[in-house]
Amino acid sequence: MADRGDTHYSVPSLNLWFLVSSVLFLGTMVWAVVDDWNAEWKQYQRDFRSLELAKAQSARVALEAEGAMGLRDDLSRAVYDAEMALASQGSALQDAERRAYELKEERFRIEEDFKKSKSLLNWQVYGGEKAVLEGDKDIPQLEAAELAAYRNDVAAKGLLFEEATIEWEAEKQVVADMRSAMAKAEKDLATGTKALTQVEDRIETLAPGDVATQVANFVRDDFPGLEFIGPNLKVQKFIPAGITFELNFTKKGRIDMCSTCHMGIEDEAFVGEAQPQAAHPRLDLFLSSKSPHPVKEFGCTICHRGAGEGLSFQHSDHRPSNEEEARIWDDSRHWHKQHHWDYPMLREQDVEASCIQCHKTSMELIADSAPRVTEGYRLFEEKGCYACHKVDWFPTDRRPGPSLTNLAAKLTPEFTNAWIADPRGFRPTTDMPHFFNLENWPENEVVVTSDYGAGREIFGGEWNRAAVAAITTFLYDRHLLDAVDAIPADVRAAADAERGREVMNLSGCFACHNTAPFMGEIDVLPALSNNVTERNQMGPNLRGVATKLNADWLYRWILDPNSYWPHTRMPDLRLSEADAMDITAYVFEDPDGIFTDTPHGWDADPEYQSSLDPEVLREQARWYFQKDGRTILESRLESEWGETAVLASRLGERLVMTYGCFSCHEISGMETMMPIGTELSSWGSKTVDKLDFGQHYLKEVAGLPKLDHHYREGWLERKLLRPRVYDVDKVKVPKDRARMPSFGFSKDEAQAVATFVLGLVNDEVPGKKMAPNAEQATSDAGMRAVRQNNCMSCHLVDNSLVTFRDESGSLQTVRGMLQPLLDEVMPPSMNSMEAFAADREVAEFNADEEIEEVIIKLLEAEPDYGGPGELHFLEVDDLVDVTPSRGGSFVGQVLEYYMFGTAVAGENGEAVAWTHGGVDGQGVLQIEDVDGQVRPYSATELDKLRWTFAPPVLLNEGHKLQPDWFYNFLASPSEIRKQVRVKMPTFTFDPGEAEAIVGYFGNKARWEWHSRYARTLRLAMGRELLTGLSDPDTHGWDMPADARNWPIFPLANITEPGPGLSAEDMEQRMAATPAFILDAATIRSIEAGYKTDVLASFGKLKAWGDSEGFSMVGPLKRGTETSKRQTRAYLDARHAFLEVGESVAVEGVNCYQCHPNGSTYVETPISWAPSLDGVATRLRPAWVQEWLWNPPATYVGTAMAVNFGSDEPQYQAQYPSSTNAEQIDAVMDWLYNKDLREVDIQSATIAEQAGRIEELEAQQE
């Protein structure tokens, strides 16, 4: 079209523009199509598909190798044979089928007829009733006879129908019978080839064989511009209900598309693959539908953060875990930091931070699965961070530092001053942080020019020294007590330092304290208490204490810690005055050079008051009292604060308030002040722009990486390691300088605390905010109380583990311990493989022999290896790992003292082993017993020493103790085993702590019962029961034929130890009954105590166990159980048995030879057993019954003998023609009523009432 000249535009140029824009538009479209076709995630999905295909193909190869093809051929042939067999019967089957069909049709006809006559009858009846009701004359009223005819008709037709049905069913059965062989063969084929069929189907889907599907798939997946029509490659997403995040002041639901690229994330088959195809770690805990965190409910970003809707590596805001990874990502994926997304993904090492948002009130429960954030949480508590920085949910509120109310009675001002200035200078391991002489007050830099710029210059060092001295002055100005009561003269006169060493080593002091040498120093005489264990760092290291304390204070403190510091975690050991005095004498006489040892360079500054330079003090007062106004302040400085001591005290008070000392320490007059730190309840939601990165964030500082102002982790880490670093090179007046003290964190510790703080976010997880249920809450509180009171230093709660390689080369772990190596008497260390290797070297050196084999003593039922107390032999090279028992590290220390004493100086100053009692004539160490006698103890009886003189194990303790008794015992411990010199202390529990401890042990036992049952069952089923009971020479005493009906299967002490049924054999045996089908993996999973499988499948296992005649008491019920043995009705019926029981126990078994009879003890403490008084209130009957049947099955190595349970029942003189079970029954009757024999009537009534109340409660539920 030509340009007519009447337009404002030129058509040719318009055409040109049109052309250009069309081309551009087309280009853009092509670009868009290609770009979409070539999207990053599509490539990942294609990769994933080939990986999946490869896996399926190799699975098929594996199946073929197993002979799956042959099996299929065989099974197919069986089907074919069955078909042929059927065909060989000629037309019989067709005839039968035809007959069945005809009969069916006939039956249908009769049924219709039957229905019709029923409706007719109904109609007549209805009509009659309606007529009567409404008086409707139109409807004919039937005579009774006519109605009866209808009825008869219905009945007759019904009969016909029944007959037809029976006939049809019979014919059907004929057909089914004829086809049954065929049907079975077909079913066998389907089940036998299930795995193969699945794999082949998968391969067919992924790589179809036929060309048409291949073409279709190509178009769907790979044809640019058409692939959107019916794509196989799709964006995957999780939309967890109710989980939101904050976006520009609104709450937005989370949509997580992560699995678009991470396609194998939920699939176990992809464990260990490269990213992005890899499966998530710990699928038992995360993502899978069986786990507690199914991905459909939680999504991804609630834990990982980042941009869930991002569909590329960059846009989803991936985070490298370190600089190295960042570099690699930059090179390989052009990764760079996101600038405009407030929720960067958490680094891999910080992901555990997210656990906190739901697990605030169950932090103890997740400790094993989330070690890093747990470490941070515990450091936050241990270092007392919570005392200054509020965290709204934090469960601990005791002041972490000692009370300073009566400081003057304990410490000298000289010590206190030096301590405040440099706590780690005296005790490198202290939790008290450094407040002074840090980098924002450099020693030689001018802080201010005094007198409003007119006076002399004051340097950082002077300023700090004066401040410390001022605080000391204030603390000693405000105290209530100058000195504690002096030690009575007669007590002091009888002091025995040598005995004090033994008292200190055996009473339990070193369960919480140690005396390890200062870092880098080595003791000439390595005292037993120098060993540092996981748990003896609860209290302070006691090295050097004699230089800071006075003897009177220490004596009083040992006798009653609470009178000096009411909230101390130090419990009351109820020591005698003599014991306390001897300890005090040992500490102050210090024969071993431990308690007067101080670190190199430490000096309790005797001249500290010279630091109180009035000019510096006045200048500080000018800054810290600035608000009072210059005029008032100056006049005050001239008059009432004119005296240096007064000025120092007033300034000291202000500094204490400034630095918040009262947050950790109780100081008179400051009890109610609010903590001074920033609240951290939602620090993890703080955005980076709110942080001051200081002047030097681009520099590397003392080994710390450059700070990245996009992220908060580095800021936190640097703050924790160098709390004043952000002040450096800033102009800040003294008052405004940072006050956070330095805790001397290691890098790992700082990172752990940082992870914890990152998790303190204000995001809510509505609906799923895991409020733990009552049981979990109790367990959590109980576990915390157990940890905070350091119960597990003395008490073992879980057995140690040994991991080894079995014959097939796979790793196995059993609950067990290693037996002593070669000629040693102590078992090797189970702390780590390094410690084991060291012990191995020593043993080989001592015996001059190479170790080839190690022996594992099993501590519980391990169905693949044997029962408790049995041994498993192993080549030493197959030992892979050892895990120490949970708790009980102090037990080793007690035993070591009994066997080796502790090192002290010999005549020539060399280290020799010694104890207070010395050695007997044959070189055996002698220990003082509780009766004051000194006796030798032999290492051969290590087991017995352990069970007699060490603190008791708390394995399955909830099953053993009656909760009421347990609670009362915790509140006020009573003596159970008099011979134990380690004292169960009296703790000052916070409200609820004791209940929680009781509840925790109950829950633990209740839960663990399932695993115990499953393991014991499998072991029991594999063992041959003996039948030839009458011939004493054919067998040992063990395994009577009724053994499985005993309350606990007699696992230990059998003449033929060894494994039980394999899980696979058990699966087969169970499969014999259709109701009990369980696969081997599930059986193992129940044995491991995996919650989901226990809940889902334990019932089946138990039912099968019952059907096999296996019996084990449990599970434990909640709350207090009343023993039926104490009810009146029971006693009325069984009264006579109390005497029989007593006679069996006292004359037959001879209980009182070891157990004290009232207050009468037998000769030697090593034979003493717990008192039988109070068994009725202390122990659960179910536990006692198990225990009496077979003590070493409960506690491996116990000194309690197997008294009942032989194939030929004993004690017939006391209880004629009785069985083992009857004897135990009678003994228990006696045990549960022996204390009440005279007054049992009344008690029985109370017990009965309790029983009725329980019944009523049960009914209400």
Partner 1 sequence: MKRTFSLSAFLGLAVLSSIAIGVGQDAPPTSKGSALAGKIAGRILFEGEKPKVKPLTVGAAQSVGCCAASENVDDQDRSLLIGEGLGIANVVVSLTVKDAKVQVSEKPVVYNQKSCRFEPHVLVVPVGTTVSFTNSDKCVHNVHLYAFHNTGFNRAVPEGKDAKGTFKRAEAIKVSCDIHPWMAGYVVVTDATHWALTDAKGGFSLEGIPAGTYELKVWHEKLGKAKAEVTVKADGIAEPIELKMAPKKPRTRRRK
Q: 529-548: which residues touch partner 1 (CB under 8 A)?
A: 531
Candidate residues 110, 185, 791, 903; the one interacting with partner 1 per rule CB under 8 A:
903
- Residue written as token pair 């008086």: 135
Per CB under 8 A, which of residues 937..976 are in contact with partner 1? 939-944
Query: Which of 1041, 1201, 1241, 1246 forms a contact with partner 1 (CB under 8 A)?
Result: 1201
Bridge partners of 872, per DSSP, are: 856
Distances (CA, A) of 296 to 275, 590, 763: 21, 65, 19
Q: Which residues contact 231 (CB under 8 A, 6 or more apart)?
A: 220, 221
Among 345, 899, 950, 996, binds partner 1 (CB under 8 A): 899
Judged by beta carbon, residue 745 or residue 1195, the one nearer partner 1 is 1195
70 phi and psi angles, rounded to 5 deg: -60, -40
- Give CA–CA dist 127/138, Å, rounded: 10
Site string for partner 1, 284-303 (x = CB under 8 A): --------------------
Stretch that binds partner 1, among 464-472, 483-491, 1127-1135, 1144-1152 (CB under 8 A): 1144-1152
User: Given the DSSP bridges, would you call strands 853-858 and 811-818 parallel, antiparallel or unpaired?
Assistant: antiparallel
Task: Give yes or no for a cis peptide into 723 (omega within 30° of 0).
Answer: no
Strand segments, DSSP code E, in 1045-1113 are none
Quick one: angle between helices 68-88 and 40-65, nearest 10?
A: 70
Strand partners, 701: 704
Q: Which is nearer to partner 1, 303 or 980 (CB)?
A: 980
Report which secondary-structure segment, H or E, holds 155: helix 144-192
Phi and psi at residue 885, to the nearest 5°: -60, 155
CB nearer partner 1, residue 312 or residue 819: 819
1166 binds partner 1 (CB under 8 A): yes
For residue 1031, the minimal CB distance to partner 1 (Å) is 13
**Closer CB to partner 1, residue 728 or residue 826?**
826
How many other C-beta atoms can be found within 10 angstroms of the C-beta atom of residue 340?
4
C-beta of 1028 vs 1032, nearer to partner 1 = 1032
Phi, psi of 903 (to 5 degrees): -75, 130
Give residue 1145's identity as a one-letter amino acid code: A
Residue among 308 and 828 whose Cβ is closer to partner 1: 828
Residues 791-830 that bind partner 1 (CB under 8 A): 819-820, 823-826, 829
Which of 842, 905, 1096, 1236: binder of partner 1 (CB under 8 A)? 842
How does DSSP assign 864-910, residue by residue?
TTB-TT-EEEEEGGGEEEEE--BS-HHHHHHHHHHHH-EEEE-TTS-
Residue from 839, 862, 1087, 1225 in contact with partner 1 (CB under 8 A): 839
Nearest one of 911, 989, 898 to 939, comparing CA atoms: 898
Among the residue ranges 436-444, 773-781, 910-918, 968-976, the one whose residues contact partner 1 (CB under 8 A): 910-918
Instruction: Give the residue with the Cβ less far from partner 1, 660 or 1141.
Output: 1141
What are the start-end ranges of the H helices in 276-317? Answer: 295-298, 301-304
Q: Does 1219 bind partner 1 (CB under 8 A)?
A: no
Binding of partner 1 by 176 (CB under 8 A): no
Structure tokens at 763: 């995001």
Looking at beta carbons only, is 892 or 999 nearer to partner 1? 892
Query: Does position 863 bind partner 1 by CB under 8 A?
Result: no
Contact residue for partner 1 among 103, 279, 961, 1202 (CB under 8 A): 1202
- Name the burial class of residue 811, with classes exposed (0-12), middle (13-18) and buried (19+) by CB atoms within 10 angstroms of its CB: exposed
Distance from C-alpha of 755 to C-alpha of 351, rounded to nearest angstrom: 8
Strand, coil or helix: what is 1170?
coil
Minimum gap (Å) between residue 497 Cβ and partner 1 = 21
Note every long-range contact of 773-779, with CB atoms under 8 Å and residues 24 or more positions apart, other chains counting: 775/1003, 776/362, 776/365, 777/361, 777/362, 778/995, 778/996, 778/999, 778/1000, 778/1003, 779/364, 779/365, 779/999, 779/1000, 779/1003, 779/1004
Answer for which of 117, 742, 902, 1097 binds partner 1 (CB under 8 A) is 902
Cβ 1152 to partner 1, closest distance in Å? Answer: 9
Per CB under 8 A, the list member of 292, 526, 591, 593 interacting with partner 1 is 526
Show the site string, 914-943: x = touches partner 1 by CB under 8 A, - = not: -----x-xxxxx-------------xxxxx
Q: Mask: binding to partner 1, 1018-1057, rule CB under 8 A, as x and -?
A: --------------xx-xxx--------------xxxx-x
- Nearer of residues 924 and 1080 to partner 1, judged by Cβ: 924
Q: How far is the CB of 1186 from partner 1 (least distance, A)?
A: 16
User: In the complex, what is the shortest distance from the CB of residue 1212 to partner 1, in angstroms, rounded to a whole number?
Assistant: 9
CB closer to partner 1, 777 vs 1162: 1162
Least separation in angstroms between CB 960 and partner 1: 19
**Contact pick of 445, 671, 877, 1163 for partner 1 (by CB under 8 A):** 1163
Kindly identify the residues of this chain, within the stretch 723-742, that bind partner 1 according to CB under 8 A: none
Closer CB to partner 1, residue 509 or residue 817?
A: 817
DSSP string, 81-112: HHHHHHHHTTTHHHHHHHHHHHHHHHHHHHHH
Q: Map the footprint of partner 1 across residues 1172-1191, applying CB under 8 A.
A: 1191
Supply 764's token pair.
Answer: 């809510």
Q: How many residues interact with partner 1 (rule CB under 8 A)?
A: 71
**Beta strand residue intervals within 214-372, DSSP E:** 244-247, 250-253, 286-287, 293-294
| Cis peptide bond prior to 371, omega within 30° of 0 | no
Instruction: Please select the residue that binds partner 1; options are 1154, 1221, 1236, 1250, rule is CB under 8 A.
Output: 1154
Lay out the site mask for partner 1 across 422-451 (x = CB under 8 A, - = otherwise): ------------------------------
Distance CA 1090, CA 292 (A): 11
> Given the rule CB under 8 A, which of 192-200, 404-412, 420-428, 1205-1213 is the region that contacts partner 1?
1205-1213
The least distance separating partner 1 from the CB of residue 1057, rounded to whole angstroms, comes to 5
341 binding partner 1? (CB under 8 A): no
For residues 619 and 470, give the distance between their C-alpha atoms in angstroms, rounded to a whole number.
13
**Contacts of residue 1047, Cβ cutoff 8 Å, sequence gap at least 6:** 1111, 1112, 1113, 1182, 1185, 1186, 1189
Question: Which of residues 390 and 978 has its CB atom nearest to partner 1 in the complex?
Answer: 978
- The piece of 160-168, 792-800, 1084-1092, 1143-1151 that touches partner 1 (CB under 8 A) is 1143-1151
Strand pairing class (286-287; 293-294): parallel
Spatial separation of the C-alpha atoms in residues 612 and 609, rounded to whole Å? 5
CB of 546 to partner 1, least distance (A): 24
Q: Look at strands 457-459 and 244-247 and give their pairing.
A: unpaired
Choice between 93 and 826, CB closer to partner 1 = 826
Q: Which of 1167, 1177, 1221, 1254 binds partner 1 (CB under 8 A)?
A: 1167
List the interface residues with partner 1, window 866-895 (CB under 8 A). 869-871
Distance in Å, CB of 40 to partner 1, minimum: 57
For residue 431, give Cα distances in angstroms to 426, 653, 742.
12, 23, 10
**In residues, how long is the chain?**
1261
Instruction: Choose the binding region for partner 1 from 29-37, 203-211, 809-817, 1204-1212 (rule: CB under 8 A).
Output: 1204-1212
CB of 412 to partner 1, least distance (A): 35
| Helical segments of 321-434, H only | 323-333, 355-359, 371-382, 385-388, 407-410, 413-421, 423-426
- Of 189 and 903, CB closest to partner 1: 903
